[in-house]
Each structure stands twice: as structure tokens, then as C-alpha cells.
């Protein structure tokens, strides 16, 4: 499977997110990563279903919605209705993770499980049959522009081994936080196949160059 690039609009200009989504699509993104933060699970507040619904007409690319919110079961249907294709929840945000993931699948969306840097890979063991994606946080969630945490590489490797032993070859292994070409290469080597990148892509000389530089790490 080729490595996919999912730029995070968190680093874009919030006064023109529609244009940003269009520009990222034209620049060769594979998915649009949308960071939803509630000010409780993480110390930052971003956007909700209304903004996601407003962005939906601007691209046909999948919306990869990363929910950093407590009790996602209360609003998951709204995010799906707004146009989310992948709904990723953090292991710690719900008392009933299996039920939560099943609820996402029953809606007809793809289900993702996000693991914080200190959350063990075993969290996926008893829910792997419901998963379409595992998101390994390579920074603590909440903000863009943070430094990559190297101890997460071993976890990526462990998860890739688990996926192989479970036969979960269709499940995406995504990394998020501090991704630049150097850290991207390490993550891909460890088994990741979806790279989320915010600040790197938006600080590049163009969105296209930023995306291409990350796509280039496949070769290593
Ligand atoms: C952090 C978010 C990330 C963030 C990544 O909580 O989940 O998606 O936008 O930003 P960079 O690539 O700048 O680390
Ligand atoms: Zn994210």
C-alpha cells in the first residue's frame, strides 16, 4: 500500500478553510485531516459539525476526522451527517470503547482508534475487528507545531506486528504530530502508511511541494 498524506487544516488560515481544502485537494493530498478539539479532553478548542458540513462541498477527498473530544458517543452521528468519512476517537474519551466503535460502523463510517503517546498499543487488541484505522499520536494532542516524540516509533512497529498477526492488512496505520520528511521516513519504516502533517505542509514553499516531500519518503 502506498503511503497516504493527510494534511491537517489546523495549520491553515481559519478565515478561509474552504479555499484551503480546495488548495490541498489540487496540491495532491490523499485525505483531509480535520482536528476537532473540545477544550476538555485537550486544552484547545477548534471546530464542530457545522464547519465540517460547510467544508464538505469543497472536495471529494475523504474527510479524516480526528475527534479529541470527551464522550464522542453524544455527537458522533452529527459528525457523520456533516460528511466525515473516517471518525477517529481517543481510547480515553469513552467508558465503552467497543460500543463507541460499533456505533461508528453502524452509521456506515470508517472507525479509527487514536492512541496518545503514553497509551499502550494493547488498547486495540479486543476491538481490532471494528477498526479501519489506528492513529498513533506522535505528539500529545492539542496543538500543531510540536516536536515528534521518538518513543512512539516502537509503538508503531508493535502495532504493525499486531496488524500482521491479526491479518488486519486493510487497516490504516496513521501517525500524527511533528511529521517532517525525517520523522516521516522513520514512521514509514516502522510500519505507518498514513502521514498527517500540519505545520510542515503549510510552511513549505507551496502546499504541493510540502505534500510531495512527504510522499517522497516512500522510497526510503
Ligand atoms: C494535534 C493534531 C495534529 C496537528 C499536527 O493535536 O492532532 O493533527 O495538526 O500538527 P503538526 O503536523 O504541526 O505537528
Ligand atoms: Zn490530528
Assign residue 107 the CATH number of its domain. Answer: 3.20.20.70
* Cα–Cα dist 137/70, whole Å: 17
- The pTM assigned to this predicted structure is 0.98
Residue 76 pLDDT level (bands cut at 50, 70, 90): very high
Ligand closest to CA 140: 1
Q: Whose alpha carbon is nearest atom 4 of ligand 1? A: 144
Condensed to tens digits (0 to 9), the pLDDT of residues 136-190 reads 999 999 999 999 999 999 999 999 999 999 999 999 999 999 999 999 999 999 9
Q: What does residue 213 show for φ and ψ, rounded to 5 degrees? A: -65, -35
| Residue 150 located in a structural domain | yes
Q: Find the helix or strand (DSSP H, E) in which 164 lies.
A: helix 152-166
Task: For Cα atoms 214, 153, 65, give the angle at the middle one, nearest 5 degrees.
Answer: 60
Atom of ligand 1 nearest to the CA of 178: 14
CB-based neighbours (< 5 A) of ligand 2, an ion? 35, 66, 176
pLDDT of amino acid 219:
45
> Which residues are the active-site residues?
35, 176
Range of the domain at 128: 4-215
Is residue 162 assigned to a domain? yes
pLDDT at 78 over 70: yes
Q: Is residue 96 in some structural domain?
A: yes
Give the number of domains in the chain: 1
Asked if the structure places residue 220 within a domain, the reply is no
Amino acid at each position: 500500500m502506498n503511503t497516504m498524506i493527510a494534511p491537517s487544516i489546523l495549520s491553515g488560515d481559519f478565515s478561509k478553510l474552504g479555499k484551503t481544502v480546495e488548495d490541498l485537494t489540487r496540491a495532491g493530498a490523499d485525505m483531509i485531516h480535520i482536528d476537532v478539539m473540545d477544550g476538555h479532553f485537550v486544552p484547545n478548542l477548534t471546530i464542530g459539525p457545522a464547519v465540517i458540513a460547510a467544508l464538505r462541498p469543497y472536495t471529494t477527498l475523504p474527510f479524516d476526522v480526528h475527534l479529541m473530544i470527551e464522550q464522542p458517543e453524544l455527537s458522533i452521528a452529527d459528525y457523520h451527517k456533516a460528511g466525515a468519512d473516517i471518525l477517529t476517537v481517543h481510547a480515553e474519551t469513552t467508558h465503552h470503547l467497543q460500543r463507541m466503535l460499533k456505533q461508528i460502523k453502524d452509521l456506515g463510517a470508517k472507525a479509527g482508534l487514536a492512541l496518545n503517546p503514553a497509551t499502550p498499543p494493547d488498547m486495540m487488541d479486543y476491538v481490532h475487528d471494528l477498526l479501519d484505522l489506528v492513529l498513533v499520536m506522535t505528539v500529545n494532542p492539542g496543538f500543531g507545531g510540536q516536536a515528534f516524540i521518538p518513543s512512539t516509533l516502537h509503538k508503531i512497529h508493535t502495532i504493525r506486528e499486531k496488524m500482521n498477526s491479526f491479518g488486519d492488512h486493510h487497516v490504516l496505520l496513521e501517525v500524527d504530530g511533528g511529521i517532517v520528511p525525517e520523522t516521516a521516513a522513520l514512521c514509514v519504516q516502522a510500519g505507518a502508511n498514513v502521514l498527517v502533517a500540519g505545520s510542515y505542509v503549510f510552511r513549505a514553499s507551496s502546499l504541493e511541494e510540502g505534500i510531495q516531500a512527504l510522499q517522497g519518503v516512500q522510497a526510503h
